[in-house]
């Protein structure tokens, strides 16, 4: 009787008490209909997490090699918006794809100010917030966005390599001319494919210097000449001079002195702003996400008496060595036990990036069997469980359907070298040839004055590196 009165009093006063047993309540479920048959099932899962990469810290206004107001986003206000910074970094990506990522709210930025390092150590997560396309960037701001923004189409066949002849045919000449990214009266900039040697010797006729003389003269009496080199297996931006004066200036720019010995302040400033930037896929991941490698290099002769090898100098003082400095930064997550690095060499030494990655960082470049042979032998080329850097959670990579990974990619049996010269900023040689050689009494033409002091170039990756990138950009499972 007393229990009945108590229950009536609670209902009358609007208080309802529900008593649960110690057994956990059943998980939530929804009714689904399949083939006209209703059944209970789990709720639909949300979107799977995406792999994220980070852009370098914002360097400030103005951006190297870019005039204010070119794309209408900067104007004359002296600032850069978030979408302008992303478009600048991913110059080879279509503007529509970048705009779509901003519209869907996929672009994030690390919180400004001091980080909560205790939280980062606990769960590995980096505190971030979503940003809009018109947010003004400040020096040091760091943007994160999905790797899918840089997904690229893969050619169904290998790039054609010209045959070994000093007289290329019409198809080979057309192929070489399609590699040209920029051309003016002073320089030619090419996107060199892998496996094409830059400097030839007696048994090699299809080198870039020999082919350029026959296919890239563009009406001049002589073809362009090399001013710096890339390894045979390395791809990316290659600069060639078209006149004796431009070749001399380019040699000074690519030297360690960077050409900074002129009375012209604009030229010295442009030479100081010059840099090269590489993308590389390495086995493993450096302990620090970014840093500076200062490790001198020296050459040693192997037992056969013919082959030399570049190694880290021991510092004993009995061997000849050269100073070598490289800046590096980890782009994002790991893929199949490998991670993408952004490399910026401060000095120009033979095999500098390959030796610094293999011996200084302990992460040899994928496909570099000369300096990473033993690591390649231990490296198991099979799907592995990796850690996503922004959340600290483990994941497995899903291989996209219909993708041929046997083109030298990271999942092929014998990967090709994953080292690509992606970006380069150079002084405008054609402009400074007029500026440095003019007489004090001679005024410069308006067309010459209006030209920028710096030129910036970005080259897309070769097919095997595009495949490896697209593998990383798939969803996580």
- Active-site positions read 231
Tell the residue number behind the tokens 């990383």, with chain if given. Answer: 472
Identify which of 366, 346, 336 has the alpha carbon closest to the alpha carbon of residue 354: 366
Identify which of 265, 263, 224, 269 has the alpha carbon closest to the alpha carbon of residue 247: 224
Strands 419-427 and 235-241: parallel
The full 3-state SS of 117-159, as one line of letters, equals: HHHHHHHCCCCEEECCCCCECCCCCCEEEEHHHHCCCCCCCCC
Q: What are phi and psi of 339, to 5 degrees?
A: -140, 155
Sign of CA dihedral 213, 218, 221, 222: negative
Strands 180-183 and 143-146: unpaired
Q: What are phi and psi of 213, to 5 degrees?
A: -65, -30
How long a stretch of residues is the chain?
477
DSSP H helical ranges for 274-327? none
DSSP 8-state symbol, 418 = -
Distance CA 160, CA 209 (A): 17
Query: ∠ at Cα 191 (188, 194), nearest 5°?
Result: 135
Residues 6+ apart with CB under 8 A from 154: 403, 404, 407, 463, 466, 467, 470
């Amino acid at each position: 009787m007393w229990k009945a009165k108590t229950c009536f009093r609670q209902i009358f006063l609007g208080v309802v008490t529900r008593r649960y047993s110690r057994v956990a309540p059943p998980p939530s479920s929804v009714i689904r209909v399949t083939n006209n048959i209703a059944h209970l099932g789990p709720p639909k899962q949300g979107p799977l997490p995406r792999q994220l990469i980070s852009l370098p810290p914002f360097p400030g206004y103005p951006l190297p090699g870019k005039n204010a107001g070119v794309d209408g986003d900067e104007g004359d206000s002296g600032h850069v918006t978030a979408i302008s910074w992303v478009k600048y970094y991913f110059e080879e990506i279509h503007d529509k794809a970048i705009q779509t990522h901003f519209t869907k709210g996929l672009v994030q930025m690390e919180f400004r100010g001091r980080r909560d390092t205790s939280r980062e150590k606990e769960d590995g997560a980096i505190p971030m917030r979503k940003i809009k396309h018109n947010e003004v960037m400040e020096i040091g701001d760091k943007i994160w966005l999905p790797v899918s923004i840089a997904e690229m189409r893969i050619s169904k066949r290998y790039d054609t390599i010209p045959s070994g002849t000093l007289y290329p045919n019409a198809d080979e000449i057309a192929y070489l001319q399609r590699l040209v990214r920029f051309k003016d009266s002073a320089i030619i900039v090419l996107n060199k494919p892998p496996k094409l040697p830059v400097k030839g010797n007696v048994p090699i006729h299809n080198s870039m210097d020999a082919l350029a003389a026959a296919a890239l003269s563009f009406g001049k009496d002589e073809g362009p000449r090399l001013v710096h080199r890339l390894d045979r297996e390395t791809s990316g931006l290659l600069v060639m001079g078209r006149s004796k004066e431009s070749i001399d200036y380019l040699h000074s720019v690519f030297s360690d002195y960077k050409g900074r010995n002129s009375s012209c302040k604009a030229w010295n400033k442009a030479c100081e702003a010059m840099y090269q930037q590489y993308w590389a896929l390495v086995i493993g991941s450096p302990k620090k996400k970014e840093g500076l490698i200062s490790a001198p290099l020296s050459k040693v002769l192997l037992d056969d008496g013919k082959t030399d090898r570049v190694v880290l100098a021991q510092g004993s003082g009995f061997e000849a060595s050269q100073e070598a400095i490289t800046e590096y930064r980890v782009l994002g997550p790991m893929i199949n036990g490998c991670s993408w690095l952004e490399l910026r060499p401060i000095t120009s030494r033979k095999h500098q990036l390959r030796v610094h990655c293999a011996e200084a960082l302990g992460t040899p470049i994928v496909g570099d069997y000369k300096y990473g042979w033993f690591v390649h032998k231990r490296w198991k080329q099979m799907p592995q469980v990796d850690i996503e850097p922004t959340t600290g959670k483990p994941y497995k990579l899903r291989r996209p359907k219909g993708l041929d990974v046997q083109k030298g990619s990271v999942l092929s049996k014998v990967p090709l070298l994953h080292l690509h010269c992606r970006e380069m900023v150079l002084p405008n040689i054609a402009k400074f040839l007029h500026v440095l050689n003019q007489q004090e009494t001679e005024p410069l033409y308006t067309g010459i004055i209006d030209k920028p002091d710096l030129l910036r170039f970005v080259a897309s990756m070769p097919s095997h590196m595009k495949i490896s990138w697209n593998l990383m950009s798939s969803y996580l499972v």
